[in-house]
Every structure is written in C-alpha cells, then in structure tokens.
C-alpha cells in the first residue's frame, strides 16, 4: 500500500515480466500500471478491482455482493431479527467505497434485509483505526437490551474477536447471538464453536487466474466466482460440534 507499494510494483515492471497477478485493492498503484502497460505482457487482477481507471487486464474477481447476501439470508433463516455487519475501517470516499469488497458485501447484506421485510433490522459498524476504541464501541452495541442477535464479520479475525467479546459479556453463541465470518480461513475450525463462514473459493479463483495467464486469447476476460457458505456451529442452535 501507499508509496512503498508503488515503488515495489515499479521495480517489478522494470523487470519486464511476462505476467503480473495482483489484488486490485484501492491502494494498488493503478495509475502507474496504466502508464507502464507495455512493460508487462499480461495482467490478471484477482479478488477485486477497486478503480475506475481503464487498465487492460483480465479479471478473476470474487462476487462479494453474493457473499454478503447468502450470509445474511442464512442468519435470517435461523430466525434472527437484528443483524449487524462488522466492517473494516472506512478509509475512502463513498463513491470509491462501492467498488471495494466491503462495499459490495454490504450491498448484498442490505438486499437480503430488504427482501425479508420490515420485521427485521440491520446495521453496519465500521471498525476504527484504534482497536481499543473499536472494542469499546462494539461492547456497547452488544450490551444494549435489544442488541444484535446475529452478526456477520467481514473478516475471520473480526469474527474471532467477536466470539471473545461475546464470551466476556456472557452471551452464548449461537443461542444468544449467531455469528458468521468471511473468507473461511483455516482457523474457522479452531474456534469454539466452529465458525460459519463465507468461502470465496480461493482455489477456483487461482485456477481461473492461471488459465488466463496461459491463454493465447488476445481479448481480456472478466470472470466472477460466486462464494459459498460453509455452515458450522456458530450460527445454528443444536449443531454438531
């Protein structure tokens, strides 16, 4: 990220690589790549492409809108009425935010709530850059008399932190609060209870990216991989451990 990341990409382009695979995060130096497009034969962006610049590249992206939607739908299907989405710190303009993974995830989350009707509610809480302040705010949210009875965390680490917070507050998971995470990292199986999580199907993204790198097709491709929900004990009462 930032100037350091831009300098790293510059050094890579100085080598005139045959291909470049990159996560198209908002802090990627897109303008630099646009200027030096001739220095690399093929570019594949994976996971997200958070820019409006016209960069010639293949795209193998995760459908974060669908991920947010299926996670919220799952929580609603468990009879939950008050959903909370825990997002990363908000560090961009509203217009740029809609291109980010969190922005798309929130849109899908809200669509599921809209479809469920007025008997359910949902809100989004953005983390701050201060971990202690984020913990204070989230403790207050879950300490309210009618606090959230379900939560979706935009990353597994936030879900793990939430499980610890709920335990400290004496709230049972999933009986009092159902919890789901995102990315389905290996430690989702190490929590107590095991963590329901959205899998972005990383192996499939990698496979498709490799296919584009090896392709002789002169036209670029834009592919989206739909995530899948991996259901475990943190969101279903009575689930097997």
pLDDT of 197: 97
Q: Please name which of 151, 225, 155 lies closest in space to residue 184, comparing C-alpha atoms.
A: 155
pLDDT of 1: 55
* pLDDT (mean) for 67-71: 98
Write out the two tokens for 223.
């592919």
Work out the number of other CB atoms within 10 angstroms of the CB of residue 239. 14
Q: In terms of C-beta density within 10 A (0-12 exposed, 13-18 middle, 19 or more buried), how is residue 176 classed?
A: middle
Q: Are 84 and 150 in contact (CB under 8 A)?
A: yes
Write out the two tokens for 177.
């609060």
pLDDT of 26: 81
pTM equals 0.92
Segment of 11-20, 53-62, 166-175 carrying the highest mean pLDDT: 166-175
Distances (CA, A) of 237 to 14, 175, 179, 210: 55, 6, 11, 40
Which helix (H) or strand (E) covers residue 202, if one does?
helix 202-214
94-147, pLDDT tens digit by residue? 567 777 899 999 999 999 999 999 999 999 999 999 999 999 999 999 999 999
């Amino acid at each position: 990220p930032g100037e350091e990341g831009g300098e790293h990409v510059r050094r890579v382009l100085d080598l005139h690589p045959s291909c470049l695979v990159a996560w198209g995060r908002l802090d990627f130096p897109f303008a630099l790549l646009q200027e030096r497009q001739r220095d690399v034969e093929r570019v594949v962006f994976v996971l997200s492409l958070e820019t409006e610049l016209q960069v010639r590249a293949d795209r193998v992206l995760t459908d974060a809108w669908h991920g947010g939607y299926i996670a919220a739908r799952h929580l609603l299907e468990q009879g939950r009425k008050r959903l909370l989405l825990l997002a990363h710190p908000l560090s961009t303009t509203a217009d740029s935010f809609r291109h980010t993974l969190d922005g798309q995830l929130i849109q899908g989350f809200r669509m599921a709530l809209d479809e469920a009707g007025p008997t359910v509610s949902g809100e989004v809480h953005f983390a701050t850059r201060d971990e202690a302040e984020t913990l204070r705010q989230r403790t207050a949210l879950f300490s309210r008399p009618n606090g959230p009875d379900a939560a979706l965390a935009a990353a597994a680490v936030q879900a793990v932190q939430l499980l610890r917070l709920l335990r400290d507050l004496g709230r049972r998971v999933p009986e009092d609060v159902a919890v789901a995470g995102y990315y389905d990292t290996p430690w989702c199986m190490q929590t107590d209870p095991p963590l329901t999580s959205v899998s972005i199907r990383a192996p499939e993204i990698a496979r498709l990216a490799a296919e584009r790198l090896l392709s002789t097709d002169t036209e670029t491709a834009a592919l989206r991989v739909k995530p899948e929900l991996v259901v475990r004990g943190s969101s279903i009462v009575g689930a097997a451990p």
